[in-house]
Structure 1
Amino acid sequence: MPAMHAALRCYALVAVLAVFPFHASAGEVMHGTIRGVLLALIVVYVLIFGLLLHNVLEAGGAVRALSAWLSGFGRAPAEQALLLSAAIGPFLEAVSGFGLAVVIVAPLYAALGFPARKAMVLALLTQSAVPWGALAIGTVINAELSGVSLRELGEYSAWLHVPLALFYVGAVVAVSEGRRSVRKHFDDMLIVSASLAFMTWAASAYVSVELAGAAAGGFAAVLLVGYWQLKARVRGHVREAGEEAVRPSLGKALWPYAILIGYIFITHFFDGVQRMATTFGVLHWPLYGVRLELLYSPGFALWLAALSACWLYRLSAAEVLACVKKTVKQVTPAAVATTGFIAMSAVMDGAGMTGALAEQAAAWTGSAFLAVSPLVGALGGWMSGSNSAANAMFSPFQRAMADQLHEPAIWYAAAQNVAASNMTMASPARIALVASTLGRPGGEGEAMRLVGPIAGAALVIIVLGVLIGRAAVGT
C-alpha cells in the first residue's frame, strides 16, 4: 500500500482506538492531531526545499557532474556505495539531520545507474549514525531527560555502535554488489568501519559529542579515498575523478552543497548568528510545545542553496518553474505520509498507547527489562522517524525503569538512544521520503521489505551489545 494511504488509515484507526479503549476525549485526540501536524511541519519544511534543491541541481547538470566525479574515485558499485552511504551520508546527516542525507544521496545513486530498489535501501542506510545526526540533538535531549552526562552517553552510544559500524558497512556492500563481493571489498570495509567507530568514540569522549558524527563521516571519506589513491599508485595507475565533459563544472556542482553546509555550520557554532537565527522568524505554538525556527532549520539552508544554484547554473524562468512544479508533485505524497504517521504517533502518545506498550513490556520482563529496553527505543524511532522525538517520548520511562530496578541509568539511556536512532531508517516517514525523492510513490512497501530485515538485525546486535556491555562493566 502506498505510504500516503497507509498513513491516513493508520491515523484514523488510532483516533478511534484513542476514544474507545483508551477513553480519550475528542478534544484530546484533536490536540494530539494538531501537535502531530505542527511537528510534521518541521520535517516537511526541510523536505520541500530538499527536493527543490535536488530538482534544481538535476536541471543544472550538477547531479550528472557529481556522479561522473564519484565514478572516478569508486569504479565498482560497492566502492561508490561505501563512499556515499557509509561515509558521506553520515557526514551529511550529522551536519543537517531530518533525513537530509537521504534526499542528497538517493539522486546520486540514480545518476550512477543503480536500480531504484537498491538506491532506496542504500540511501536509507545513510541513517546508520543518527545518534549524532543534526549535531547530536537527539542525544542531547536523551541526556537531559535521563539525567546522565552528555559526554558519558555519547561514549556509551559510540561503544554500542562499534559492531553496528561493521554490520552496516557489510550491508552496504552486500546490497550494492551482492553478498559474494563482501570478501572482495573486505579491506575497504575494515577501513571505513574502523575509522567510523574510532573517530565517533574518540570525538564523543574527548572532543564534542555534537561534532562526533561529522568528524567520523568526514574522516572515513578522506581515509577511504586516500587508501584507493595509494593502492592505485602502487599498481601504477592513479585514480582520477571523472573527466567527462559535463555541465556545470565540478566546482559549480559543489558550490550549493558548500553553501548548505556553511550556513548550517555558521548558525550552529557562532553564538551571535545562532541567537539571531533562533530569535527572528520563529513560529511558536506554546500550547502544543512546538517551535519552528525558520532561519535556524536546515530547510532555510536548503532554500539558500537552491537559490544560489539557480543563479550559478543560469536557469531560465521556465526551468525554475518546471523545478517548482516537479517539487510540488513529489512532495505531496511524502508530506501527507509524514504528517499522517507523526500525527498518529502524537495521538498514540497523548492517549497513553505508547506508554501502555512500554509499561506492559516492563511488566512482562521485570528485572530483565534491560533486554527489552532497546525494543522500547526502537518502537519510538520507528513510529516517529526521529531520534529526538523518540527520546523525548521514552527517555523518562527508561530512567524510571532504571531507578526502579536500581540499575545505572546510563545503560538504559544508551540503549534508548542507539535503538531509536537506528530504527528511523525503517520508519514509514523516512521510507516515504526516499520513495518521493526517487519518484517512486507507491514503492514504499518494497523499500520496507528490503530495509526492514537490516534494521531488525541491527536491533538484535544492539540488544546483545547492551547485555554484554552491562555484564562486562558490572556497575
Structure 2
Amino acid sequence: MIYFVWTLPALLVIAAIASGQIGVLAASAIGLASALVVAFAAAPHSFQLAEAAVSLARGVWIGWIIVPYIVGGLLFWQIAMRTGDAGTPTAMPMPNARAGRRLLFMACFLIGPFAESATGFGVGIIGTMALVRRLQIKPIQLLVFSLISQTMILWGAMGSGAIIAAALARTNPTALAVHASILVVGFNIAWLVLYWRLADRAGFALGPRERLSEALWLGTSLALVVAATAVLGPETAMLAAYGPVIALRYLVDERPDRRTLGQMFRRMLPFGLLIAWLGATRLVAPLEGFLLHAGRLHPFAGAPAWAPLFHAGTWLLVAAVLTGLLRGHARAFPVELRAAWTTGRLAILSIFTFSAMAEVLSGSGIATGLAQGLFQTFGRAAVVVMPILSAVYGVLANSSNGPNGLFMAAQVSLATEAGLNLAAAVALQHVAAFSLNIVSPVRMSIACSLAGTPGHERDAYRAMLPFAVAAVALLLVAAILVASGRV
C-alpha cells in the first residue's frame, strides 16, 4: 500500500495530462502539491518544513539555470531571422528533382535540428516547413518531413534538457549528453532509412548514390556534434558542429553567385560570430577561467552553479541585443521579448514546478523507496520498466523535464541498488524521456496547424508510427543491455 501512496504524485500528473482537460503546467502544479502532501504524511524518513524548503529552493534554482537558455535562444532566433536587406533565396523554384531531394535532406536533418537546438519548442518544425514548402508536395508529406526536424532533441533548447537531467541525477551534463548520444545516433540511423522511403514516395527517388551521400553527410554531422559535446558541452555543441556543416552544404548545393552569397553571409553573420565566441569561451583557458569564476554562485551541492558570464544563455541575450541594434531593429525589442515570453513561459514555469517536485521526491526519500520496491518486485527488469514509463509520459508532456523530474532519482537509486552501470542507466532514462517527443500531441498540433491540415492528427500519427516504433525498439534493446549489465 505504501508504494502505491508514493506513486500518487506521478499517477496524478500522468492522469491529468492524459485526460486532455488539464495542461502540462497545471498538471505539474498538481504533482508538486501532491508530492508535498505525500512527503509530509508518508515519507520513508522524517520530512519536515525545513527539508521541504530546501528541496523547493533547490528545484527553483535548477529551473532558474535554464531560463536564460529559453528566453535568450528564442529572442536571438527571432531577432537574427527578422527580414532585412539580406534576403534568403528560399523562395526560388527548384531546378530539378536532384536539387529538391538535396533541399529536403538539408531541411529535415540539418537546418531543422539546428533551429531546434538554438530555441527548442518546435521552432525547427517552422524552419523546416518553410523550406520544404518549395517542393510543392502533399500536405501530409509536408507535415511528416517537418516533424523529422525533431530528431536531435538531446541538444534542443541549448541542451537545457540534458542540463536539468544531469542536475536531477547529480552528474555531469557533458558526460550525460555524450553517453546519451549513442542512442540518439542509433535513432537517427533508423530514422534516416525511414526518411528514404518517405522521400521516394514523395517523388524524390534518386537511387543508392544519393542515399550514400545523405548517409555520409548525416554520419559526419553526428560525429561532429558528439565530438563538440565532449569538448564544449551540450549547450553549444549543435551550434558549433552544425553551423559550419550547413554553410558547407549550402555552398555545395546552391552554388550561389557573389551577390547571393553576400546576402546570405550578412544574414548568417550573427550566428557565426555567436558560435565563434561561445567556442572561445570553452576552449581558451584564460578566458574560460575568468568567465567561469566571475560572479559565480553555487548555493546547493550537487546542483548546477550559475556563472552569468559563462552561461551560454547570457550570450544569446547579448547577441540578440547587439544584432537588433546593428540592424536597426531596436524598436522591435519589446514585441520580440513579449513573443519570446509567450512562446516559452509555459515551459519555464513547468520546469520550476517539475524540478521542485523531483527534489521533494528525492529529498524525502520517496524516490529511493520506490526504486527499492521496484527492485524487490522485478529485480533488474525494473530498469527496463522505468524508461518505458518515461517514454509514455514524455510523449504526453512534450518534454523530457517532466518524466525526468518524476523518475530520474528513482532510476539512479534503482541502478545503484542493482549494481548496474550508473552512467548508462542515467543516459537511458534521459533518452527515454524524450524518445517519443517527435510524435507528441503538442508537436503534432503545431505541425498540422502550420501545414494547413488541422484535424488530421490521426493521419500524421499513422505516417509517423514507424518512427515511434523504431525508437521504442531501440530503447528496449538498450534497456535490456543495461539491465543485464552488458553496458
TM over 0.5: yes
Offset, 1:273: 1.0
Secondary structure of residue in 1 paired with 2:298: strand
**Alpha-carbon distance in structure 2 between the residues aligned to 1:192 and 1:279:** 43
Change (3 A) 1:354 1:119: farther
Alpha-carbon displacement from aligned partner over 1:439-461 (angstroms, at most 9, x marks no partner): 99xx9xx89x9689956752431
Structure 1 CA distance for aligned equivalents of residues 483 and 467 of structure 2: 24
Distance in structure 1 (CA, Å) of the matches to 2:246 and 2:260: 25
- Counterpart of 1:210? 231
Q: Does 1:45 align with 2:68?
A: yes
Calculate the TM-score normalised by the size of structure 2.
0.66
Change (3 A) 1:18 1:304: same
Contact 1:64–1:111 (8 Å) recurs in 2? no
Contact 1:422 1:455 in 2 (8 A): no
CA distance in 2, matches of 1:122, 1:302: 26
TM-score, scaled relative to structure 1: 0.68
What percent identity do the matched residue pairs reach? 18
Does residue 400 (structure 1) correspond to residue 400 (structure 2)? The answer is no
CA shift, 1:341, in A, is 2.7
Distance 1:297 1:437 in 2: 31
Q: Which of 59, 65, 86 is residue 88 of structure 2 equivalent to?
A: 65
2:332 aligned to which of 319, 326, 329? 319
* Aligned residues of 1:145 and 1:392 also touching (Cα < 8 A): no
Are 1:295 and 2:314 matched, yes or no?
no
Going from structure 1 to structure 2, the CA distance change for 1:296 and 1:189 (only over 3 Å counts) comes to farther
**Residue 168 to residue 400, structure 1, CA distance change in 2 (3 Å):** same
> Counterparts of 2:428 and 2:206 in 1: how far apart (Å)?
27
Say if 1:69 and 1:241, in contact at 8 Å, map to a contact too.
no
Question: Which of the numbers 122, 127, 133 marks the counterpart of 2:153?
Answer: 127
Whole-Å Cα distance in 1 between the matches of residues 192 and 362 of structure 2? 34
Question: Are the equivalent residues in 2 in contact too, given 1:136–1:210 (CA < 8 A)?
Answer: no
Deviates further, 45-54 or 13-22:
13-22
Cα distance in 2 for residues equivalent to 1:79 and 1:192: 8
The equivalent residue for 1:13 is 34
Amino acid in the other structure paired with 2:124: V
Q: Deviations over 1:269-308 (max 9, x none)?
A: 1111111111113343237844222221121121122122
- Shift in Å, 1:417: 1.2
Matched, 1:413 2:439: no
Cα distance in 2 for residues equivalent to 1:41 and 1:305:
20
Mark the CA change 1:397 to 1:225 in structure 2 (over 3 Å): closer, same or farther.
Answer: farther
CA 70–144 in structure 1, closer or farther in 2 if over 3 Å, else same? farther
1:310 is aligned to 2:286: no
Q: How many pairs were matched up?
A: 438
2:141 counterpart of 1:86: no
Are 1:10 and 1:344, in contact at CA under 8 Å, matched by a contact in 2? yes
Change (3 A) 1:61 1:310: same
Kindly indicate whether residue 401 of structure 2 is the aligned counterpart of residue 385 of structure 1. Answer: yes
Q: Which residue of 2 aligns with 1:338?
A: 351
CA contact (8 A) 1:36 1:344 kept: yes
Point out where structure 2 has 5 or more consecutive residues left out of the alignment.
1-21, 134-138
8 Å contact from structure 1 (residues 105, 123) kept in 2: yes
Q: 1:109 to 1:41 in 2, by over 3 A?
A: same
Q: Secondary structure at the match of 2:293?
A: coil
Q: C-alpha distance in 1, partners of 2:211/2:367?
A: 38
Shifted more, 300-309 versus 21-30: the winner is 21-30
The letter for the 1-side match of 2:362 is D
Q: Distance in 2 between matches of 1:326 and 1:224?
A: 31
Alpha-carbon distance in 1 for matches of 2:362, 2:70: 24
How far has the Cα of 1:51 moved from its partner? Answer: 1.8
